[in-house]
Amino acid sequence: MLATISRRGVLTGTAALLASTALPRLALAQGGGRLIVAADSEPRQLNPAIVASNGVFFISSKVIEPLAEASYDAGGLKPLLATGWEGSEDGLSITFTLREGVSWHDGTPFSSADVAFSAMEVWKPLQNIGRSLFANLEAVETPDPLTAIFRFSKPTPLQLIANALPVVSSVLPKHVYEGSDIVENPANRALIGTGPFKWGDYRPGEYYLLTRNDSYWGEGLPHLDDIVFRVLPDRAAAASSLEAGEVHLAAFSSVPLADLDRIAKVPGLSVVTKGYEALTYQLIVEINHRTEELSNLKVRQAIAHAIDKDFVLDTIFLGYAEKATGPVPANDPTFYTPDVTTYPFDIAAAKALLDEAGYPEGPGGTRFSLRLLPAPYFAETRQFGDYLRQALAAIGIDAQIVPHDAAGHIKAVYTDHAFDLAIAPTVFRADPAISTTILVRSGQPDGVPFSNQGGYANPELDALIDEALVTLDRDKRVALYKDFQRMVTADLPLINVADWSFTSVVADSVTGVATNPRWVVSNWAETGLSE
Amino acid sequence: MTRPFLRRPEALLGGAILLALILIAGFAPLIAPGDPLAIAGRPLIPPFTDAGLPLGTDRLGRDLLAELIHGARTSVAVGLSAALVAVFAGMTVGTAAGFAGGAIEAALMRIVDAFQIVPGFLLALAFVSVAGPSLWVVVLAIALGAWTGPARLARARVLSLRESDFVAAAKVMGMSPAEIAFRQIMPLALPPVLAVASVIVAAAVLTEAALSFLGLGDPNSVTWGAMIAEGRNQLRSAAYLSIIPGIALVLTVISTYLVGEALTDSLTGRDKR
């Protein structure tokens, strides 16, 4: 999902042109169940064990499986490579029981050695999320081929690890990666996994092809013969390809929201919002607390009051989003609390707060100027940037938009700290400890994307985060994270504006759609095509 | 017989549109006061349905007419500034090369060649990507690809002028070579370059729009290219968002081109009829 804007801009035309001429043979041969999917980006790194991001999962999750997948059922998890997991009383170990009769695509049997290798050599040292999540992981013991015992140096809640399993636990084959440079291994391109589909082919700018794994462990699965991801970076092209019947599925809102009403009326196509529940994106305003004006709580409160969330929902997200009250989205069944400080849209209150803070209106109505850096990854973040500039102008803050491409934005905000306000699309991943508390916890090294790089430091909040990280009792843990939401909304280290998710446009012939809350990035073993 | 500039119909038509455009651009803050990016009403009001917002509103509810008027400002400013920079740089290099001759001329003209073989738009794209988008970077980026035309023209003109008697006279009077080149010869080499300038303006307006369309314009000012890019996502449901700035762009480029053609014809004495 992270394509650089300038690169994307340049490539859009050429790639759309290429895509329109590509695959004539593939597109016609649909009899045996070939699902054709629109892909809006081409990740350079396809290994989900190293880069745990949705853009990578979208393609690679069909080939490389995690220990467990998210589920709509009670408990929220469906066993994949692990059939069971149990934590010890002291929280210092977790025992995974692994599935029998699983083999890698090259025929080698899957065993606990693969899990131990993946955890110690890949997830912990290399993975973007695993680096912090498995920081206390000391060793993985493998008493027999179907048991893996994770040993931690500090008490680690089973709830946290279980919540993180679908995202962090993609298992790699030890025999392919051992003794090589893992990051540069050719298998990161031509993936080898245990999943329902095998790696087929990749033509840059054209398509990815995945073919059926005939020896998949799931009985009678998968239903499809193969999956083609057609590279269609142009959003308008995705919509017309669907209408022309050349593509069965466009996920991750690759059809522009403004076009959805029209597309929904096209016979044979449906708009599906289900299947993204565990992929909630949060639209947040990151604040640089080194900026004198913004270190003042009253100024931050004024900014929060100046944002009309109803307007943002209606015009930018066209209703496909929810208002955010705090750092945990309302659709989270476990941790969310609405009992937090809220900031209703109120320009008069915002102006009064700025006056109190000692920033009176100067000539021309301007109080002070700020640099605003909207993340360029999504149309929504850029549009919200345009909106926020106007919303701030209404209370006398002159915000100048500083545009960057994706790489430049990451560097400017997270390494150089050359921003006052930034707009980020962060992801809530089922547990606040996975990728949410890092947004406000102090002491993050420079250059870590989507972490607290605004110089905010609140010892009380840090202590709370640290305590929750080693609290084993479920209820106590939940209570601590509710306190966390209250503290964040009261002190506003950042401002949560909206929680949004994606939509898929699917042809009616596709069956088994949105069967779990991470459906687009799950393995699609149960997805099929009807005539 | 060459007709004077003002008696050409294409010059009158183009001139009228261009004049109107320059007036609109110049008086934009009076015609559409306030911030053109301010949210003025409901989003996506179609054109000609609301008297207060005659051209309707875009996705965020911004007044399309105000955006269009202030967009003219950007287009005119960028077009004229880029042409000015290109003509100035081109004239200087071309005159110096033509007058100095020898190794200096060869070196300067190879630099001109080097710039000329790179497509102007790619050059601008690369320059803006590196330097970061702001209005003056965009102007410079466009001029970077446009100065070679004036340079070649100026050199050719200077080559013939430097053999003139008045140059010899100036030498006898003891004027320094730089003085002769830039005070005596350059003004006389100007007319043909001026005729090219209008083509540069038209190209600059288009290049600026294309850069903005690709997201490389200055996001803090309204530009037609950015408006078209914004509207593209709603092309199927609200085509007017792209069509209205598109028409404005076409009119500007055509009128500049017409004026340029007429100017070339009367300055060079060329006449089709």
Residue B3 — very low, low, confident or very high, per pLDDT cuts 50/70/90? low
Cα separation, A38 vs B227, in Å, equals 27
If you search the block for the tokens 């100035």, which residue do you land on?
A: B88
CB-based contact B37 A390, cutoff 8 Å:
yes
Cα separation, B229 vs B209, in Å, equals 9
Query: Following CA atoms B234, B235, B237, B240 in sequence, which dihedral angle do they give, to the nearest 10 degrees?
Result: 100
> Does residue B37 sit in helix, strand or coil?
coil
Q: Between these two residues, A419 and B102, which has the higher pLDDT value?
A: A419
Cα separation, B236 vs A141, in Å, equals 58
| CA A62 remoteness from chain centre | 17
From B78's Cα to the closest Cα of chain A, the distance in A is 19
Structure tokens at A328: 């945990």
- pLDDT value, residue A196: 92
Look at strands A421-428 and A528-529 and give their pairing. Answer: unpaired
Residue A295 pLDDT greater than 70, yes or no? yes
In the DSSP assignment, the letter for residue A411 is I
**CATH fold group of domain B10-23+64-272:** MetI-like fold (1.10.3720)
Q: What is the pLDDT of residues B71-83, one digit of tens each?
A: 998 888 999 999 9
CB-based contact B215 A261, cutoff 8 Å:
no
If you search the block for the tokens 């937090």, which residue do you land on?
A: A340
Domain ranges for chain B, please list them.
10-23+64-272
Query: Following CA atoms A20, A21, A24, A27 in sequence, which dihedral angle do they give, to the nearest 10 degrees?
Result: -20
- At position A358, the amino acid (one-letter code) is G
Q: What is the pLDDT of residues A183-210, one digit of tens each?
A: 888 888 889 999 999 999 898 888 999 9
Task: Report the first-to-last Cα separation within chain A, whole angstroms.
Answer: 31
The residues, ordered by sequence, that sit 6+ positions from B253 with a Cβ below 8 Å of its Cβ are B202, B205, B206
In a 10 Å sphere around its CB, with 0-12 CB exposed, 13-18 middle and 19+ buried, how is residue A522 labelled? buried
Q: What is the pLDDT of residues A236-275, one digit of tens each?
A: 788 888 888 889 999 888 887 777 888 888 888 889 988 8
Residue A393 at interface with chain B, using a CB cutoff of 8 Å: yes
In a 10 Å sphere around its CB, with 0-12 CB exposed, 13-18 middle and 19+ buried, how is residue B74 labelled? buried
Residue A17 pLDDT greater than 50, yes or no? no
In the beta sheet, which residues pair with residue A369? A398
By Cβ distance, the residue of A261, A390, A401 closest to B39 is: A390
From B59's Cα to the closest Cα of chain A, the distance in A is 7
Which residues on B lie below 8 Å from A318 (Cβ)? none
- The pLDDT mean for chain B works out to 87
> Does residue B51 sit in helix, strand or coil?
coil
Domains in chain A, ordered, with CATH? 15-46+55-63+195-277+502-529 (3.40.190.10), 68-177 (3.90.76.10), 280-500 (3.10.105.10)
Residue A25 pLDDT greater than 50, yes or no? no
DSSP A413-448: IIIS---SEEEEEEEE-SSHHHHTGGGT-S-PPTT-
Residue A390 at interface with chain B, using a CB cutoff of 8 Å: yes
Residue A531 — very low, low, confident or very high, per pLDDT cuts 50/70/90? low
| CA A156 remoteness from chain centre | 23
Q: What is the pLDDT of residues A144-170, one digit of tens each?
A: 999 999 999 988 888 888 888 998 999
Over residues B41-66, mean pLDDT = 86
By Cβ distance, the residue of B215, B237, B238 closest to A9 is: B215
If you search the block for the tokens 């912090």, which residue do you land on?
A: A132
By Cβ distance, the residue of A376, A385, A390 closest to B38 is: A390
ipTM above 0.90, yes or no: no
Residue B113 at interface with chain A, using a CB cutoff of 8 Å: no
